[in-house]
Amino acid sequence: MRVHLVHAHPEPASFVAAMRDVIQEQLRVRGDQVTVSDLYAQGFNPVLLASDFGARRSSGHLNYALEQRAGYETGTLSADIAQEVEMVLAADVLAFTFPIFWFSVPAILKGWIERVFLSGPFYGGKRIYGRGGLAGKRAFAALSLGGREHMFGPDAIHGDLETGLLRHFFQGTLGYVGLTVHRPFVAYHTPYLRDAQRRTLLEDLRAYVRCLDEQPHFTMPNLDDFDAVFARRPMEKSH
């Protein structure tokens, strides 16, 4: 199995970097092939620019999604985007390691998504969710945050982490393009833990990756339940 891991943390000695290393190690123990995009280390530019396209479909108003389609079809995407796209499309599984910043992913990762998840090969029109361009591939994430576990949940102070705070990532991004999305590995309160507690978390992560194929995944919308304009079909009445 081919796995592409996208890592987004500015500190090379961070706990998130340790999670990245554990994931790579355990995937290779499983016999998987692993490639890595370390976004901060490689200086990935998260800003959308007209210069992302070597040959513009339109020299006037910049419609980024339409230019993505044209750039992919003509092979004129900027080199940094094309390289990332190639690794994503070659992978069977996408993995992500990042900290939670302000109830979201780091800005550099958001920019990576916006530049790399191309309109056309990844999604477009009615090609979303189970019919998206990455259907048949899987994704998972290992993330860290400063909050305690009891702060997250349906009735907790911050709300649910997976289906509330990060729904935009798990469903609105990964699920949207067709990926089967495993429930994440979450490391709570990490800046305040002792070394022994961090080591225990890393062992738990190793077990998570070892059993990755059996990890539960999120339920995404089934397009068969919606009509041509994505309005929900009436439920059939039982007799």
CA–CA dist 94, 5 (Å, integer): 6
Positive or negative CA dihedral for 148, 140, 208, 136?
positive
- Among residues 7, 113, 134, 5, which one has the least CA distance to residue 68? 113
**pLDDT value at position 235?**
77
**pLDDT value at position 203?**
96
Q: Are 119 and 72 in contact (CB under 8 A)?
A: no
**pLDDT value at position 60?**
82
**pLDDT value at position 58?**
79
Q: Where are the beta strands (DSSP E) in 12-66?
A: 33-38
Burial of 232 (0-12, 13-18, 19+ CB in 10 A): exposed
Q: Are 45 and 111 in contact (CB under 8 A)?
A: yes
**pLDDT value at position 100?**
96
- Mean pLDDT, consecutive 10-residue stretches, the chain (239 aa), reads 97 96 96 97 95 85 91 94 97 98 96 96 93 97 95 93 94 97 96 93 96 95 90 71
**pLDDT value at position 239?**
44
CA–CA dist 222, 128 (Å, integer): 10
**pLDDT value at position 55?**
82
**pLDDT value at position 92?**
97
CATH number attached to the domain at 2-225: 3.40.50.360
Residue 205: what are its φ and ψ, rounded to 5°? -65, -40
Cβ neighbours around 155 below 10 Å, total: 6
What's the mean per-residue pLDDT of the chain?
94
SS3 of 197, please?
helix
**pLDDT value at position 238?**
46
**pLDDT value at position 129?**
95
| pLDDT tens column, 185-217 | 999 999 999 999 999 999 999 999 999 999 999
**pLDDT value at position 236?**
59
